[in-house]
């Protein structure tokens, strides 16, 4: 049984997070593209946002895309570990993850459009 608490647990959790980012960067082209786009757009959000709320909206929707992509990648990795054969439930899980990323991307376009248009 794992008895890690306090600082030890936090350090290990941070290490797992770094490993997750590294795995996503190495194995997921979509994550790389979205991360590079976020690195470009986040400084622009500070410049274009007229107040803290606008800046927070512009940045948080980009972070939502990255978060959703990481979860989608996790779903796909688990599904691929279970089987490489076509199965309707695996397809449903992968399609749902893809749809979640699509919604996050659409939300980002909507937020950026509304903030920049107003």
Task: Report how far residue 33's alpha carbon sits from residue 64's, in angstroms, rounded to the nearest whole number.
Answer: 14
Answer yes or no: is 94 a known binding residue.
yes
Answer yes or no: is 50 a known binding residue.
no
Answer yes or no: is 49 a known binding residue.
no
Catalytic residue chosen out of the listed positions 62, 69, 72, 79: 69
Answer yes or no: is 81 a known binding residue.
no
Specify whether 50 is catalytic: no
Answer yes or no: is 9 a known binding residue.
yes
Task: Report how far residue 37's alpha carbon sits from residue 51's, in angstroms, rounded to the nearest whole number.
Answer: 22
Answer yes or no: is 87 a known binding residue.
yes
Answer yes or no: is 107 a known binding residue.
no
Structural contact between residues 65 and 103, judged by C-beta atoms closer than 8 angstroms: no
Residue set of the binding site for substrate: 9, 30-34, 55, 69, 98, 112-117
Catalytic residues: 69
Residue set of the binding site for a divalent metal cation: 28, 76
Residue set of the binding site: 9, 16, 28, 30-34, 55, 69, 76, 85-87, 94-95, 98, 112-117
Residue set of the binding site for ATP: 9, 16, 28, 76, 85-87, 94-95
């Amino acid at each position: 049984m794992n008895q890690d608490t306090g600082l030890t647990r936090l350090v290990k959790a941070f290490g797992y997070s770094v490993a997750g980012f590294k795995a996503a960067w190495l194995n997921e082209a979509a994550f790389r593209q979205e991360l590079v786009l976020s690195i470009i757009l986040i400084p622009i959000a500070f410049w274009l946002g007229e107040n803290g709320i606008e800046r927070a909206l512009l940045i948080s929707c980009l972070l939502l895309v990255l978060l959703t992509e990481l979860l989608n990648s996790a779903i796909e990795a688990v599904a691929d570990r279970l089987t490489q054969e076509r199965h309707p439930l695996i397809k449903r899980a992968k399609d749902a993850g893809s749809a979640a990323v699509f919604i996050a991307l659409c939300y980002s376009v909507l937020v950026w459009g509304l903030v920049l248009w107003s």
